[in-house]
């Protein structure tokens, strides 16, 4: 059983394939496609790349403080006091922070907790502090080097 050989460029069936080299690639081609590369007598049996052995990474310890941002418990009264002190109406404050009036009313009533993003806007406009940073114990992470830190080194998965 004789296997048919096809030109690796044009796909035409060929009887006597010609080996050419295009850059570092060897191709079996027909007589009309041989002009694309340099004709070689024999394709090298095996081309091996020399791979340098990588040194074993040196691990060092990195301490990452675990910080959680939360909104103060008395956010509703602080927002209302600051707004009134500045002589603003709820409508004015809502438009300054880009929020609906109904949402701001619920926040001031303590029925709705603002998002971290909205709390930052309110802090900026009202010149108050609503966000608290709670620092937990430091987590020790082993890593290769400063550049090799991964998301998995930092993130701690929370279970629902």
8-22, 46-60, 114-128, 144-158: the lowest-pLDDT one: 144-158
Find the mean pLDDT for residues 132-146: 58
Q: Do residues 26 and 77 share a domain?
A: no
| pLDDT of residue 65 exceeding 90 | no
The structural domain count of the chain equals 2
Cα atoms in the Cβ-side hemisphere of radius 13 Å centred on 46: 3
72 with 122, same domain? yes
Residue 159 placed within a domain: no
Q: Do 80 and 118 sit in the same domain of this protein?
A: yes
If asked whether residues 30 and 83 sit together in one domain, one would say: no
Given a cut of 60, whether residue 121 has pLDDT beyond it is yes
Same domain, 75 and 125: yes
Do 73 and 125 sit in the same domain of this protein?
A: yes
Task: Give the rounded percent of residues in the chain with a pLDDT score beyond 90.
Answer: 35
Most confident region among 21-25, 65-69, 94-98, 143-147 by mean pLDDT: 94-98
- Beta-ladder partners of 113: none
Q: What is the CATH number of the domain that holds 130?
A: 1.10.260.40
CB distance 136 to 68 below 8 Å: yes
Averaged confidence pLDDT in the chain: 79
Give residue 85's domain range: 68-135
Q: If 0-12 CB within 10 Å is exposed, 13-18 middle and 19+ buried, where does residue 18 land?
A: middle
Residue 98 lies in a domain: yes
Question: What is the distance between the alpha carbons of residues 143 and 62, in angstroms, rounded to a whole number?
Answer: 7
Kindly state the helix (H) or strand (E) to which residue 97 belongs, with its residue range.
Answer: helix 90-97
Say if 103 falls within a structural domain.
yes
* Residue 147 forms part of a structural domain: no
C-alpha distances (whole Å) from 120 to each of 23, 75, 154 are: 58, 12, 24
Candidate from 1-10, 50-59, 84-93, 107-116 with smallest mean pLDDT: 50-59
Average pLDDT for 103-131: 93
Confidence at residue 14, expressed as pLDDT on a 0 to 100 scale: 87
77 C-beta neighbours (distance < 10 Å), count: 12
**50 pLDDT exceeds 80?**
no
């Amino acid at each position: 059983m004789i296997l048919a050989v096809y030109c690796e460029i044009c796909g035409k069936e060929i009887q006597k394939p010609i080996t050419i080299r295009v850059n570092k690639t060897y191709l079996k081609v027909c007589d009309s496609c041989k002009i694309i590369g340099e004709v070689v007598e024999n394709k090298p049996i095996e081309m091996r790349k020399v791979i340098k052995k990588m040194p074993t990474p040196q691990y060092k310890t990195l301490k990452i403080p675990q910080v959680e941002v939360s909104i103060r418990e008395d956010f509703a009264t602080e927002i209302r006091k600051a707004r009134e002190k500045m002589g603003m109406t709820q409508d004015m404050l809502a438009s300054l922070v880009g929020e609906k009036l109904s949402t701001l009313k619920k926040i001031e009533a303590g029925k709705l907790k603002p998002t971290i993003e909205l709390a930052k806007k309110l802090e900026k406009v009202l010149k108050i502090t609503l966000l608290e940073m709670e620092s937990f114990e430091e987590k020790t992470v082993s890593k290769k080097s400063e550049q090799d830190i991964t998301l998995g080194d930092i993130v701690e998965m929370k279970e629902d």
